[in-house]
Structure formats: structure tokens, C-alpha cells
A and B are shown apart, each in its own frame.
Chain A
Amino acid sequence: MTAGLVISDLRVTFGGRGGLLRRSEPPVAAVDGVSLRVGPRETVAVVGESGSGKTTVARSIVGLVTPEAGTITYDDTVLGPMRTRPPHVQRAIQMVFQDPRSSLNPRMTAGAILREAWHTHPAVAPKGDWKQATRELLAEVGLDPTVAGRRPSALSGGQCQRVSIARALAVRPRLLVCDEAVSALDVSVQAQILRLLVDLKSERDLAIVFISHDLGVVRQIADRIAVMRSGELVEEATAEDLFTNPRHPYTQMLLDAALDLEGVES
């Protein structure tokens, strides 16, 4: 058995169907022949610029888009579209989105958002007091118990992202797919959420797929890094190797363009 996530020759296309007002055009491959493995307890980052296909890879993993070709397996179970996945597989892989505010239901309190996850997955719902379980879960992501009674509009961006993470944790996942999970946050809040992810990873033995355009953040938390460009994976290496010895010219170009605070001529 191959433990963890295995993506083989993934191909995802968009468009291409002829419409009433539009002549049929050939489909555009957003992801073209990507293969990637994410072992248990491993943090793998996928980096690239806009249009590289990194978000499409993330959405394929959680079953939000249907690949045209290729397979994705988790612990040897083939993963189809979200609704076809058995509940235990749905639970195993959870996603944290970029914009915490728009990914939470504005009409539900944080407590209700967590309870909804348990209603959907009764197998992992707390056996005893849900109120107590809610408090514990909020505490685990660094939130005060009073947050349970508040709606997203009454929470800061960082607090909303913590609620999103708590919602993912509520169903006891094995793998978190984080799509630009800290990009929309203020820099002084980013570090809080990165710390939280790193702590949760070790406490809960999680694997993480970390989609990001920020090479600095990626260097801090990733074990391995995959670089994507125009739907293709151009280089994959351990974090240390990628930064110290990039082999693909595109990786080299990304590194050259990335700014640092240090080493600036003025």
C-alpha cells in the first residue's frame, strides 16, 4: 500500500464546449500531466504564479473539480468527485481557503459552523456534550469560547481563518489542503496562523498541501516544494534543495524576482 496522497498524470481542462453564442474552442488545460506524492505528516508546497494551475490541483484533491485524465488516490482509495467519496474519505481531506470571510456562512455563528460539520459527519461527532467539544476545538485553534456565539462579520480576518481551520479539524482530517491560507491576512497575523498550522500538524499528525505564491512563507514551513507553470510541474525538490540549488530556469527566475528585506541597495 502507498500511504497518503498520490496524484498521477493529472489533467484538468476548462471550457471547450461549444455554446449558443460561442463557437466551440479547444479546451484549455489548466493542469497538464501533474504527478505528486504527499506522504503522511509531510508538508508539500505547490508554488507558482497566477494561471499556473496550483489552485486547480488543490481543488482536484478535494474533489471540487473533475479531472479529465489521471488519478488521485489516498491510501490507495481512488478519489472521485466530492459527492461520490465515501464519508471517511471526505473527512480525511479538508480544505482551508484563501478568503476566510467568504468561505464561512455569514448567517451562522462560529459554533453553528462547527456543529454543521458534525451533523454532516455523525461518525466523528462528539459523543458527549457538543458545547464542551466546541469550546475545546476553539481553544485548540487559539480562540476564546465566546467566539462560538459570534458570526463571521463580528470576527477579524485572523479569527475567521482560525474558525475555518477549526471547521476542518472538526471532522478529524489526515490531510489539510491550504489554498493561499495566509495570503489575505495582515502580516502581523500571518505568523499566528502559520504557527498554528505547524503546531496542529505535529499534534494531530497531519499532512499539509500548502498552495502559495509566497516563497518566503513556503520556505518556512514546507518539507518539499513543487513549482508549477502553465499547468505543468516544472520542478520538485526538498525545500532546502530548491532554494539553494534550483535546477529549472523558471524556478531560478522566480527566486531572482522574489524580494527580501535584506541585501537591498538604496
Chain B
Amino acid sequence: MSADMTPEDTGPLLDVRDLEVVLPGPDGPVRILDRVSFTVGAGRTTGLIGESGSGKSMTAMAIIGLLPRDAQTRGELRWRSEDLLTATPRRRRRVRGREIAMIFQDPLASLNPGQTIGRQITEIPRRDGMPRRELGSTAVDLLERVEIPDPARRANNYPHQFSGGMRQRAMTALALAGKPQLILADEPTTALDVTVQARILALLRRLRDEEGTAMLLVSHDLRVMAHVADDLVVMYAGQVCERGPAPDVLRRPFHPYTNALVKSVPAVHAKSAIADPLPGSPANPAERPSGCAFHPRCPLTRIMAQGVSSANAIGTPPIHERCRTEQPEVREISPGRWSACHFSSEEAVR
């Protein structure tokens, strides 16, 4: 069904094409996701980064099939050779956990407080009919793979007996139990202390390297992305604004929003000045600005507008007409590097 790789399987594992999600809002339907496209390669970690309202978590929920009931979707979620968006509910349940698994931000809220860790992480093998005598050793094996010390004893513990970092490891073990090809991880280290965070990130990297599990990592934290992501997808107001190999995107962002994000990360191991702040707050998809959604906060449009238009009222910052009126397409600026900015070019963003 899944594990055997045929030659034509060399394409991406997951291919998200023009994904749209519309939810009802108090003032009419809101297009939460607007033509979101990206791919997750087999055995690679793709980082989905954005601020509040960017749609990054909604994208993960669409992929795992946990959107609100009243959500309307369009586009395609190509998973191997099928479209998950049009799959039957029965098929989606089958995919969930066994082919695509998810790790949530808050493990305490996602684990059952009344069941032992060992029982919870073997839920899928149990349902698949694994004999009882094997379940125990499977639990120990899973806990061992996520580096929980003394796994045989720990399998009989309840979630409250685990520390925050260990609970996140248990969640990861639960995700691994179904032998998924793709793990979605939504802010898996956000609630953790730095020392614990570093160890969880090392674990996620090891799973990619040794077990070849592909991962879609959802986070607002660029520092986390820099340490684990192979590819990066940057989202703003429910749209993709930039994607490409993570080291390249971080070293040399093509989109002015990515550029601002990178500059806003304070350095720990060197002295840095407080970044020039962007004006305003992240755009809300319910009130998505016209043209390029980022234009009201964009430093680049102001540079590009200088000398072009003198028609702006005195006191209002100049905005380039194109950015205000025309929604930019996500274009391939250089091989493998995509950006949705009218003025993205290697020279422009500096």
C-alpha cells in the first residue's frame, strides 16, 4: 500500500496545489488560505513559517484532515498518487496516523491523562491487530527511539509523571507508531525551555537522517527553522510569499517580508541592534489588503515608489501603485527560489 518506492515515486511526497480554505466569518466568508502551493520532498524537512493569521496551522490542519466542518476547500493535496481533498472520509482516517501523523504544540492537552504512555503510543498497532505480547515491546522500542531513558519503566507511567520535554518525546513516539512517511509538527518546541528545545530539535533531525521520515514543521520561530528545515515556505495573511531551500532563503531572502523576519531575530552569540521595526501588525485574512497583502508594511514598496508617483497625499507614506492594485504571482526568481513580490530580484532586496 505505501512503503514500496517505485521509480515514478521520485517526485514530491506531498504536493499542495493552489489550496484554498474558506471559513464563514461574522461579515461573510473569509478566505483563510489563498492559493497555497508548496511541496514536501521524501525524507526532507519543510518548514512552514509565519506569524499570527498567516495560515500556517490551518495548512497543517487541511493536510491532516482536521478542518472545521463548515470549511470549504479548493485546490489539490496530492499525496503520492491521490488527492486527499477528494478522498473519502474512510480513506482519510486511514491516512491519518498511518501515513501522515501529527505532533501538536501542547502534549499535555493531546495525551490522555488516564492512560499509561505505553498504552497510548501503541494505539495504532493495537487497532491493527498486533498481538498483546508484542505491544509491550513495541512501546519500549518506540520510547527508546525518542530517547526516553529507562523506557521499560517509563512505558507504565502516566502523562503527569513526564516532564514537558518527555511528553513531547512521547507525542513523537505516538506519531512514529503508525510508521508514517510524513509527520506534521505544529510548534513542537514552542512551549519548551531552550535546553529542552535543543534536544527535541536534535531528535527531529535524527529521525529525518536515520529513519528518512519527511516532516512538515510549522513554527513562528526562524531560529528553530534554521536548525532543522531543509526547505522553507514563508506565509503571510494566508498566502505563500516565499519558498526555497532554507539556508538560501535565510541567507538571502528574496521577499521583503522574509527579509524583515530574518532581520528581526536578535542574535545571541553576537551583539545586535534592535531591528528597524516593520510598521503595523500582521494582516488578518478577513481584512486582507488589496494587491500585495504585505504592501501596507513593506519597506521595499516605499523605496520603489520614490520618484515614481508624486500623487500621494502629503504625510502618507508612498506605496508603489502596482503593490496596491495587483496581487503578485509566486514566481521562480532563480532555480528553486520562489517569491511573490513584484520587485523580487537579487538586486532589489538588500
Contact = CB atoms under 8 A, between A and B. Distances in A.
Interface of A: 49-50, 156-159, 186-192, 194-195, 198, 213-217, 219-221, 240, 243, 253-255, 257-264, 266
B222 A260 contact: no
B156 interface: no
Contact of A264 (B227, B260, B261, B279): B227
A66 B275 CA distance: 38
B52 A261 contact: no
Given A221-B274, A257-B198, A259-B198, A188 B261 contact: yes
A66 B23 CA distance: 48
B269 interface: yes
A263 B279 CA distance: 29
Given A157-B52, A188-B261, A220-B272, 8 more contacts: A50-B193, A187-B265, A191-B276, A192-B277, A220-B271, A221-B274, A243-B269, A259-B224
Contact of B268 (A190, A195, A260): A260
Nearest to A198: B274
A157 B284 CA distance: 12
Interface residues of B, number: 39
Interface of B: 51-52, 193-195, 197-198, 220, 222-224, 226-227, 230, 246-247, 250, 260-262, 264-279, 281-282, 297
The 5 closest A-B pairs by CB, nearest first: A216-B266, A191-B277, A156-B281, A49-B193, A186-B51
Contacts of A258: 194, 268-269
Contact of A187 (B220, B246, B273, B297): B220
B195 A189 contact: no
Contacts of B277: 188-189, 191-192, 195
A257 B246 contact: no
A198 to B, nearest CB: 7
Contacts of B224: 259
A188 B274 CA distance: 11
B274 A220 contact: yes
Contact of B264 (A156, A157, A188): A188
A261 B226 contact: yes
Interface centre among A215, A216, A217, A240 (most CB of B within 10 A): A216
Contact of B222 (A49, A157, A217, A261): A261
B156 to A, nearest CB: 25
B266 A266 contact: no
A266 B264 contact: no
A266 B281 contact: no
15 contacts: A157-B52, A188-B264, A188-B278, A191-B264, A191-B276, A192-B277, A216-B267, A243-B268, A253-B195, A254-B195, A257-B197, A258-B269, A259-B224, A261-B250, A262-B270
Contacts of A219: 266-268, 271-272
Nearest to B50: A186
Given A217-B266, A219-B266, A243-B271, A259 B227 contact: yes
Contacts of A198: 274
Contact of A259 (B193, B223, B264, B273): B223
Contacts of B261: 187-188
Contacts of A243: 268-269, 271
A195 to B, nearest CB: 6
B268 A188 contact: no
Contacts of B246: 266
Given A219-B268, A259-B198, A260-B269, A187 B222 contact: yes
A260 B279 CA distance: 24
B195 A216 contact: no
Contacts of B264: 187-188, 190-191
A214 B266 CA distance: 9
Given A157-B52, A243-B271, A261-B223, A216 B193 contact: no
Nearest to B194: A257
Contact of B194 (A254, A261, A264): A254
A195 B274 contact: yes
B267 A191 contact: no
Contact of A49 (B194, B260, B268): B194
B170 to A, nearest CB: 19
B52 to A, nearest CB: 6
A35 B278 CA distance: 38
Nearest to A262: B267
Contacts of B230: 266
A262 B220 CA distance: 17
A111 B222 CA distance: 36
B269 A188 contact: no
Contacts of A259: 194, 197-198, 223-224, 226-227, 268
B219 to A, nearest CB: 11
A213 B52 contact: no
A259 to B, nearest CB: 4
A262 B272 CA distance: 12
Contacts of B281: 156-159, 186, 188-189
B44 to A, nearest CB: 12
A98 B195 CA distance: 21
A191 B274 contact: yes
A260 B267 contact: yes
Contact of A257 (B52, B195, B226, B278): B195
A243 B270 CA distance: 8
Nearest to B276: A191
